[in-house]
Structure 1
Amino acid sequence: MRTQVAIIGAGPAGLLLGHLLRAEGIDVVVVERATPDYVLGRIRAGVLERTATMLMERVGLAGRMHREGLPHDGFALADGDRLIRIPVTELTGHHVLVYGQTELTRDLMEAAPARGLQVLYGAADVALHDLESDAPYLTYSQDGRAERIDADFICGCDGFHGPSRKAVPASVGAAYEKLYPFGWLGILADVPPCHHELIYANHDRGFALASMRSATRSRYYIQVPLDEDLGDWPDDRLWDELAVRLGPEAAASLTRGPAIEKSIAPLRSFVFEPMRHGRLLLAGDSAHIVPPTGAKGLNLAASDVHYLSEALVRHYRHGDQDAIGGYSQKALARVWKSERFSWQLTKLMHRFPETDAFDRRMQLADLDYIATSRAAQTTIAENYVGLPL
C-alpha cells in the first residue's frame, strides 16, 4: 500500500490529525493495534482547551461536543475549609469544555468512513523502517498476513508505549523524566457531580479531585501511595475519604454510588526531544506525558496536531520545504510550558513523602496568596485555558 502520510495510533491525536489532513486532500492511512471497542473502552480525561474545540470545529465534528459538553467558566482550589475559585472566563475571555475523551474519539472514529479516512484496526507488530531516507515505510501483521505501507512521512501518535519513539536512535533523542512517588486512585460513578465546576483539593491527608464527565456521571480521585492495593478501597471507604479531603462545602453535596470503574494510575512528567527524526514526526503521548493535575494531556496532543497538520499542509500544498523542519521546535516550546504548569500545580496540591511542616506551610501560604491575588489567579487561568498557539 502507498500513501502520503501513515499515522500510527487511532486515539484522538491520530484520528484528529487524519481528519485534518484528509480535509486538505492529503492521502492518509491510520494503523491501530487494538480494536475499535478497545480504543473506546479507555477511560480518559475530558477537559478541553480552546485548541481542541477549535480543531473539532475545523473538521466539522463539533456538533455533539457543543450539544452535550459542559462549558466551564472556572474551577476551584480547596485548602481545607474553603474553595478558592479561579474565574477563568472572566480573567481570559475563554472557557474550557468538559467533554469526555472517549466521546471525542467516538465522534472522530464514526466520521472516518464518510470522510475517506482509512483506519486499519488490529495491526500488530508495527515496525518503522528507513526513517532517514526519502522513502520510509512501516510493516505490520493483520489476520496473520504481513503487510507494508510506503509513505512520504510517518506520524507516531501511538502513545508512550508505542513503537514510534523507540524507532528514534538513542544517539539522536533525549528523554527528560520525573516520576512522582504517588498515584491517583480514581472512581467513575453514575451520580451527579458534587459541584458545578472542578475542585482540586489540598488536604493534610493528600490531594483529591472532584470532576465529571456529564451532568449525571462523576469522576473523583484521591492521592495514594504507588504500592496501594486497590482491594483495600471498597466504595464506601473511598467516598468517606473524598468527603474529608474535598472539604465541607463539597462534602455536603456529594452523592454516593457504585463504581463503574476504579483504578490507580501513576503520575509522571516526560518529554522526548526532538519530536522529529528524518521522516518520522511524533505527536501526543509518544513524545510527552504530563501529570493529570493540569488537564493537559489531550490538549497538548491537540496542539501538536495543530502544528503538525499545518506543517504537512504547507509542505504538500505550498511546497514549503522548511515547514516540517520547524515542527519539533515549535511544538516543544508549548510542551515545556504546559509541563511547567502541570508540575507546579502538582507540587502545590499534593503531599510528597519528604514534605515537612515548613513545606506544608509554604503550600498553604501559596494558596492564601492565590486566594487574594488577581495577578496570581490570572496566571493560573491563562495556563489552564491554554496558552496561545
Structure 2
Amino acid sequence: MRTQVCIIGGGPAGLLLGQLLHREGIDTILLERRTEAHVLSRIRAGVLERGFIGLMHEAGVADRLEREGERHGGVVIGAGAEMIRLDLAGLTGHGVTVYGQTEVTRDLYGARHGAGLPTLFEVDEVAIGGLEGAAAEISFLHEGERKTITCDYVAGCDGFHGPSRQAIPEERRREVEKVFPFGWLGILSETPPVHEELIYATSDAGFALCSMRSQSLSRYYVQVPMSERVEEWSDDRFWEALRARIPAEAAERLVTGPSIEKSIAPLRSFVCEPMQWGRLFLCGDAAHIVPPTGAKGLNTAASDVHYLWQALTARYAEGDEGVLGTYSERALARVWKTQRFSWWMTQLLHHFPEQTPYDRRVQEAELAFLKESEAAQRALAENYVGLPY
C-alpha cells in the first residue's frame, strides 16, 4: 500500500487531521489498534475551545455540534461558600462549547466513512521505519497478515502508549513529567446538571468539578488520594462528598441518582520534545498530557492538528517543506502555555498532601484576587476559551 500520509491512531486527533487533509486533496490511510466500537465507547471530556470549533467547521463536520452543543459564555469558580462567575464572553468575546468527545469522534468517523477513506481497525505490532530516508515504511499485523504501507509522512496520533513516540531515538527524546499525588473520582449520572455552567470548586473538604454532557446527563468529580479504590465509593458516599465541596447554593440544587459510570483518573503532566523526527510528527497524547483541570487535553491535540495540517498543506499545495520543519517548535510553544495553565489551575484548586497552613492561605488569597481583579479574570478567561493558534 502507498499513501501520502499514514495516520496512526483513530481517536479524534487522527480523525480530524485525516478529514482536514482529505479536504485539501491529500491522501491518508488511518490505522487503529482497537475496533471502532471500542473507540466510541470511551467517555472523555467535552469542553471545546473556539479553535477546536473552527477546525470542525474547516473539516466540514460541525453541523451536529452546532445543533446539539451547549454554548457556555461563562464558568464558575467555587471558593468555599462563594460562587465567582467569570464572564468568558464579556472578557474575551468568546465562550466554550460542551459537546462530548465521543460525539466528536462519532461525527468524524461518519465523515471518514462517508468519503470512503481507508481505515484499518485492529492493527497490531506496528513498526515504523525509514523516517530519515526517502520514504517512511509502516509494517503491521492486520487480519492475520503482515502488511506494509509506504508513505511520505507519518502522523503519530496514537496516544501515550502507542509506538510513534518510541520511533524517535531515545537519545534524541527529552521527556519531562509531573505526577500529582491525587486523582479525580468521576461519575456519570442521568440527572440534570446542578448549574447551567461548569463549576470548579475548592473548599476545606477538597476539590470538585460539576460538569455535564447534556441537560439530562451530568458528569461530576471529586479529588481523592490515589490509594482510593472505586469499589470503596458507593453512590451515596460520592454525593455526600460532592455536596461538602461545592458552594451551598449549588449543593441545595443538586439532583442525585444512580451512577452509570464511575472511575478514578490519575492526574499527570507530560511533554516529549521534539514532536517530530524525520518524516514522523507527533500529535496529542503521543507527545503531551495535561491534568484535566483546565480542559486542555483534547484542545491541545487539536492545536497540534492545526499546525500539522497547515504544514502538510504547504508541502503538497505549494511544494514548501519549510513549514514542516518548524512544526515541533510551533506546536510546543502553545503546548507549554497550556501546560502552564493546567498546572496553575490544579495548584489553585486542589489540596496537596504536603500543603501547609501557609500554602492554603496563599490559595485563598489567590482566589480573593481572582474575585476582585478583572485583569486576573481576563487572564484565566483567555486561557480557558483557548489561546489563538
Normalising by structure 2, we get a TM-score of 0.99
3-state SS of paired residue (2:114):
coil
Tell me, yes or no, if the aligned pair for 1:212 and 1:218 is still in contact at 8 Å.
yes
What CA distance in whole angstroms lies between the structure 1 residues aligned with 2:155 and 2:110? 21
Query: Deviation at 1:116?
Result: 3.4
The equivalent of 1:297 in structure 2 is 297
Tell me, what secondary structure is at the counterpart of 1:4? strand
Residue 153 of structure 2 is matched in structure 1 by 153
8 Å CA contact 1:22, 1:116 repeated in 2: no
Distance apart, 1:119 and its partner CA = 1.2
Shift of 1:171: 1.1
Cα deviation, residue 117, structure 1 = 2.2
Q: Secondary structure at the match of 1:113?
A: helix
Aligned partner of 1:384 in structure 2 is: 384
Secondary structure of the equivalent of 1:83?
Answer: strand
Aligned partner of 2:343 in structure 1 is: 343
Secondary structure of the corresponding residue to residue 387 of structure 1: coil
2:302 counterpart SS class? helix
* 2:233 corresponds to 1:233: yes
The residue that corresponds to 1:259 in the other structure is: 259
Secondary structure class of the residue paired with 2:255: coil
User: Is the 8 Å Cα contact of residues 128 and 164 (structure 1) preserved in structure 2?
Assistant: yes
Does residue 11 of structure 2 align to residue 11 of structure 1? yes
**Helix, strand or coil: the match of 2:3?**
coil
- What is the CA RMSD across the aligned residues, in angstroms? 0.7
- 1:166 aligns with 166
Q: Tell me, what secondary structure is at the counterpart of 1:256?
A: coil
Aligned partner of 2:178 in structure 1 is 178
Matched residue, 2:49: 49
**SS class of match (2:256):** coil
Q: Is 1:87 aligned to 2:49, yes or no? A: no
Q: Which residue of 1 aligns with 2:25?
A: 25
Aligned to 2:171, the other structure's residue is in SS state: coil
Aligned counterparts of 1:167 and 1:299: Cα–Cα separation in 2:
25
CA–CA distance in structure 1, aligned partners of residues 24 and 229 of structure 2: 49
Shift >3 Å, 4+ stretches: none
Cα distance in 1 between the residues matched to 2:65 and 2:113: 19
Deviations along 1:100-148, one digit per CA (max 9) or x if unpaired, are 0000000000111222322111111111112111211111111211111
> What's the % identity of the aligned pairs?
57
In the alignment, structure 2 segments of 5+ residues that lack a partner are: none
Q: Deviations over 1:42-98 (max 9, x none)?
A: 110000001110011111110100111000001011111010111111000011000
Letter in 2 for 1:30: L
Alpha-carbon separation, structure 2, partners of 1:186 and 1:125 = 33
Q: How far apart in 2 are the matches of 1:247 and 1:236?
A: 19
Write the deviation string for residues 256-275 of structure 1: whole angstroms up to 9, x where unpaired: 11111100000101110000
**One-letter identity of the residue aligned with 2:93:** G
Partners of 1:51 and 1:303 within 8 A in 2: yes
Unaligned regions of 5+ residues in structure 1, if any?
none
SS at 2:113's partner residue? coil
User: How many matched pairs?
Assistant: 389
The aligned counterpart of 2:281 is: 281
Matched residues in 2 for 1:123 and 1:285: separation? 19
SS of equivalent to 1:298: helix
Letter aligned with residue 6 of structure 2: A
Secondary structure class of the residue paired with 2:271: strand
Q: Distance in 2 between matches of 1:349 and 1:198?
A: 14
1:263 is paired with a residue whose SS is strand
